[in-house]
Every structure is written in structure tokens, then in C-alpha cells.
Amino acid sequence: MLSAARRHRALIDSLTASGALSDRRLVSAFRSVPRHFFVPLHGAVTTSGAPLDADRAPERWLEAAYADAPIVTRIDDGDADRGEGVPTSSCSAPGVVARMLEAAGLRDGDRVLEVGTGTGWTAALLAARLGDDRVASVEIDPQVLEAARAGLVRAGRSPRTVHGDGEHGLAEGAPYDRVVATCAATRVPRAWIEQTVPGGLVVLPWTAMEGAGVLARLTVHGDGSASGPFLGGLGFMPLRSQRPPPAAAPSAEAQPDETRLLHGGDPIAPLTRFATAFPVTVMVPRWRMGLRPAPGGTGRRLWLASDDGRSWAQVVPAGTAWRAEQAGPRSLWDEVEAAQEEWRSLGGPGPDRFGLTVSADGRHRVWLDTPDGAGWDQD
């Protein structure tokens, strides 16, 4: 059985070799904070659902603690009666944490607010890099926060940790040089921008639709706006106040207003690849999508639904072709096809060519290449 120290060293070596970690001071912080201090001894699971128990299976528990993968630490906000089985807190994958903290461009003397303490590991890394007195972290779940504080004690770190709703930031102690969110947002809360100094950064996972998130690095401007690029895809659990409403595939009894055949290849495949699906999520407003087995178990079907539940569409196999069905005030499949055509007309840009501007009055606009380039309002 490899020791925790050897596994820890190997993990950081792999992050530096891959280029995920390059800042010398940040590398030192990662080396000084063991991740296993922040992994629950019992009750956590891997993303595939495998249970982790430090007493019954110590080798598997330690292996998971030092794998470059997330560990789910809480389901359904701890409400066993809810029965949804939805992960609501985790210890983020080390490579993802490294990307976020590298993107934050941390400097000696910076004061940082972390939104979403989670297990406390990221707060410990920030404290190791900047000093305990330069870091504050806010967490909405009191039980999660209690466990994080215990992990911080084990690691010998003492950043300020506060129980509260991170959507409101943490006014006491503002302004900050950096706000780093470890939860995804579709709307960047005004408090995060207002509590950041002009020229400072807000770093967060941003998404127009769950499953298609990106890392956003926004520079705060003196006029109260913030703008910056997307730095590749990543997924995080949503800010609690911005969890998406339930959405379901149309029922087998649902009758379409329009049906037509589609030819020319698999129309579903592009929407299952992040590089091609992400631009569509920002070009088509207020919608959801998902995959289900096709009727009769032959292949798969794609379903679409508007956020208000009034419109739906689905694409299903039809012999050698595909059949598109849609109903409601919006023709959702037509909107998705038009967005894909627009994306192709722009040269098929990847997610890294897009960025976000949040105006002083809270309007969100995703843009291509530059803030003054082609753009799509998200309001």
C-alpha cells in the first residue's frame, strides 16, 4: 500500500508535468496541503457511485483521495428522504482546482473570497498560497462547513470560514482582489462584482445549461461591469439559488404540432460533444436537452424542452433517417438547427473563442473573440 505522502507527491508531480500547475508559489501550496485531510472517512462516493470507506477499504479510499477526479461528499443536501440521488457537494478534481487557481492569477498580498467552501481543500490551498488572514470562504450548508473546518484544522490552516449564502458574497471584509467560486452560475451575482476591486478578477464556472460549463475569468471594471474570456470547459454543481427547474422528456403520449424527416447524418451527435454543443447553448435561450433510449430500444432519442415547459421537441431514429417532432409556441428544433448553422457560418469556433460581459445593470452577453464582436444576449 502506497503511503499518503507518496501518493500526494505523485499527484502534484503529474499536475506540474501536465502543465495544469505552473505557478511556483501555487505548486508549493499544493505540496503543503494533503488532499486526504478533506475526504470524509465514510459516506463519500466516486462519480461512478463506488462507496469510499477508510476503515473497510483503506487502499481504495486513499487511491480516490489522490486521483485526479472529483469525490462526491454529499447527496441531496443531506436529505435522505428526498431520494433524488443528486450530488450537491464534492471535493473537486485536483486538475480542475489547479486550473481555477492558476486562472485567478494570485499575487502576494491578494485578498480572496471563495464562494462554496465545500470540503475546505481549496480554501486551504488559497491560505497556503496567500496566508490565512488573506482568505475568506463562505458555505451555505452548515454541516458541510463543519466538516470543512475540521479538515482545515487537520491541515494546520485557519482561513476565515463563514456560514451564509454565497450568492451574496461576504460584504464584511470586502473589497477583495479575487472572488473564486466553486459552484456554477448562469447569472453572475452582482455582489461578486461589487465586492471585487476594480482591476480584480471574478473566476467562476459559468454555464448557459447544465452539462455545458466553462471556466470564466472576468475582470471587474470601474463602471461596475465585468468582462473576460472563457478558458475551456468544466462542470460544477450549481449555485443553490440557481439550480435549474426540473425538466422532463416529452411523454410517449405527447402529440407534435409538426413532424419532418431529417437527412444528412446523425443530427444528435453534434449535441453530445462539448465543443459543438456549447455554442448552441448560448445561441438558443432558455431551454434544456437530454438523451433517452429511442422507442423500441433501437438507438437513442434527443429531447428538448423550454424552461417554461410550454414547448418541446425530440429527434428519433426513423429507418435510415431521423424524425424531428416539435410542439408549443417555440419551434425548438428549428432554433437549434438555426444556431448550428450560425455557428458554422462563423467558422465553427471552439468554446475558448467565446467570453462573457456582465454590464453594470446586470445584463449578460456572451461574445465571440472580443467584447465588441458578435454576441448573444442571455437575458
| Integer Cα distance of 314 and 331 in angstroms | 11
92 annotated active-site: yes
Helices 121-130, 24-32: axis angle to 10 degrees equals: 130
Nearest to 116, CA basis, from 182, 178, 59, 29: 182
Contact 126, 135 (CB under 8 A): yes
Please give the grid coordinates belonging to residue 83: 431520494
Which among 14, 48, 89, 92 is annotated as catalytic? Answer: 92
Please state, in angstroms and as integers, the Cα–Cα distance from residue 301 to each residue in 42, 69, 142, 228, 253, following that order.
38, 29, 41, 36, 15
**Residue 330: what are its φ and ψ, rounded to 5°?**
-105, 140
Q: Strand 176-181 relative to strand 112-115: parallel, antiparallel, unpaired?
A: parallel
Please state, in angstroms and as integers, the Cα–Cα distance from residue 169 to each residue in 104, 119, 141, 193, 304, following that order.
17, 18, 15, 9, 34
Active-site residue list = 92
